[in-house]
Chains A and B, each alone.
Chain A
């Protein structure tokens, strides 16, 4: 190899090493946010931990396919949701067979009918709905709805990012999100006012 070629090679390796370090730092910096989403996509803490580890193992292997400057959090979640599907953690499908859900005001109207309009005040809501009730209601959602609700409402992803992560059209994200939120409120209403 000529000296020039060797020098070019060394430069390339140095650039690659620097890119790799940058990639690792950025990815590890997102771990807590990735975990928070993962935790609500699967049933247990252990499963979530495992899933995040598999995700990072794969991410570190295929880091070159990430284009620097794009949304890494979405890129990681795409890997994670694919792994989750591959692992057969989601067996339940066919969201169209769900009963038709109530309207958007359903939970508010139920609370107001039972306890008056003051039941809608912030302090009362927080008092009335338990944290564990919310978590249970989320995990009761059919997976296809839950994935979207978790990505958008917990993970703070845009419709477009969620569509990319789940590899579905944006219209599907929007309709699953709307129906998923309604189903969630319906479950909360049943739990709270039973």
Chain B
């Protein structure tokens, strides 16, 4: 597996690339490298999968009944000052 300075640069840019916060020039630089490098492309896909997996794993739905409790809070008269 070839791993060079291009890969190091790619590793550095990858998180921002996924966040879509890179400037246009850096986007091109990252894309060009990813196009030609299996090693980094696999890691790019891995990072993408990982983020999705973290989001799904960590998302827990609101418990039943909570919404009703919140709605009741809305109806309470404001507390005296």
Given contacts A53-B69, A53-B70, A125-B53, contact A108 B62 (CB under 8 A): no
Number of interface residues of A (CB under 8 A): 43
Interface flag for A184 (CB, 8 Å)? yes
Docked pose: A39 CA to B55 CA in angstroms: 13
Interface flag for A143 (CB, 8 Å)? no
Contact B43 A153 (CB under 8 A): no
Contact digits for A86-107, partner B, Cβ 8 Å, 1 yes 0 no: 0000000000000000011101
Contacts of B69 in A (CB 8 A): 53
Contact A104 B42 (CB under 8 A): no
List residues of A (12-32) whose CB comes within 8 Å of B's CBs: 24, 27-28, 31-32
Given contacts A32-B62, A134-B58, contact A129 B73 (CB under 8 A): no
User: Nearest chain-A residue to B21 (Cβ)?
Assistant: A159
Which of the residues B1, B21, B58 comes within 8 Å of A135, measured between beta carbons? B58
Docked pose: A178 CA to B14 CA in angstroms: 11
Contact B46 A103 (CB under 8 A): no
Interface flag for B74 (CB, 8 Å)? yes
Contact B73 A138 (CB under 8 A): no
Contacts of B70 in A (CB 8 A): 27-28, 31, 52-53, 56
A-B contact count (CB 8 A): 104
Interface flag for A131 (CB, 8 Å)? yes
Contacts of A184 in B (CB 8 A): 54
A40 to chain B minimum Cβ distance, whole angstroms, is: 5
Contacts of A134 in B (CB 8 A): 53-54, 57-58
Which of the residues B46, B73, B76 comes within 8 Å of A125, measured between beta carbons? B46
A31 to chain B minimum Cβ distance, whole angstroms, is: 5
Contact digits for B4-40, partner A, Cβ 8 Å, 1 yes 0 no: 0000000110110001010000000000000000000
Contact digits for A114-132, partner B, Cβ 8 Å, 1 yes 0 no: 0001001010011001011
Docked pose: A134 CA to B52 CA in angstroms: 11
List residues of A (30-89) whose CB comes within 8 Å of B's CBs: 31-32, 35-36, 39-40, 45, 49, 52-53, 56-57, 60-61
Interface residues of A (CB under 8 A from B): 24, 27-28, 31-32, 35-36, 39-40, 45, 49, 52-53, 56-57, 60-61, 103-105, 107-108, 111-112, 117, 120, 122, 125-126, 129, 131-132, 134-135, 138, 150, 153-154, 159, 178, 181, 184-185
